[in-house]
Amino acid sequence: MNNLLVIPSIDIKDGKTVRVVQGIPELDCQEYGSNPVEMARLWRAENAKMIHVVDFDGALEHSQKNLNIIKEMCSSVVIPVQFSGGIRNLDDVKKIMDTGIIRLAISTMAFENKKDLVKALEIFGPKKIVIALDILKKELIIKGRKIKTGINYLQYAKQMVELGIERFLVTDITKNGMMSGPNIKLSKDISVKTKTKVTHSGGIRNKDELMDFKNIVNSGVDSVIIGRSLYENRFPCQKLWRVAESQNK
């Protein structure tokens, strides 16, 4: 059995680390520490192998005011940083790549600007460009999880595979930040039916649920993003990563 990669999430709004329920700052926005760079260093010290950063200012306002923070985060930790939020065109892609991130998760641009998505894939390749699927009752949601597209997520995912996408970041919006348990079936189905790798995001509350993902890692769901449960100390971080990365005996 392969290892499961556990990725802490750092959500940024107005230059601060926050946690938002269902990815909607207006619904609930709790500050967890004013300095995202220090938070990145903390997760690195806790043995994280990658960090996922969400720029809510970028996603909601197409703002680039947090670019310097992202750049400082990348230069402050020796582990890869994955980014999402506010990417609308090829110029945005190039600017965020210049900060030093290792991988970019694109949502709205892929739906509205496929021409630039194709160009980004040509320049950076499918290892660095992945598609974020924000899903609400089988429907794809974009624009900072505010706009319904009317498009079935699986139909859309298969279109992305035809363009060369090899990985999806999957979020069931109803589970994100709600501490109600993860939608494992959704992530597994997408991985199996598209024959791609999937990073799951949303709903993981404890070690048992983490082990549920470890048990299906060979299906293609090889990594999980965890936010609120980590910030609220739902399990000891060092034990968390040891369990996730240990081989079955």
Q: Please spell the DSSP secondary structure of the chain, one letter per residue.
A: -PPPEEEEEEEEETTEEEEEGGG-TTT-EEEEES-HHHHHHHHHHTT-S-EEEEEHHHHHH---TTHHHHHHHHHH-SS-EEEES---SHHHHHHHHTTT-SEEEESHHHHH-HHHHHHHHHHH-TTTEEEEEEEETTEEEETTTTEEEEEEHHHHHHHHHHHT--EEEEEETTTTTT-S---HHHHHHHHHHHT-EEEEES---SHHHHHHHHTTGGGTEEEEEE-HHHHTTSS-HHHHHHHHHPPP-
- The residues that are catalytic are 11, 134
Q: What angle do CA 134, 220, 217 make, to 5 degrees?
A: 110
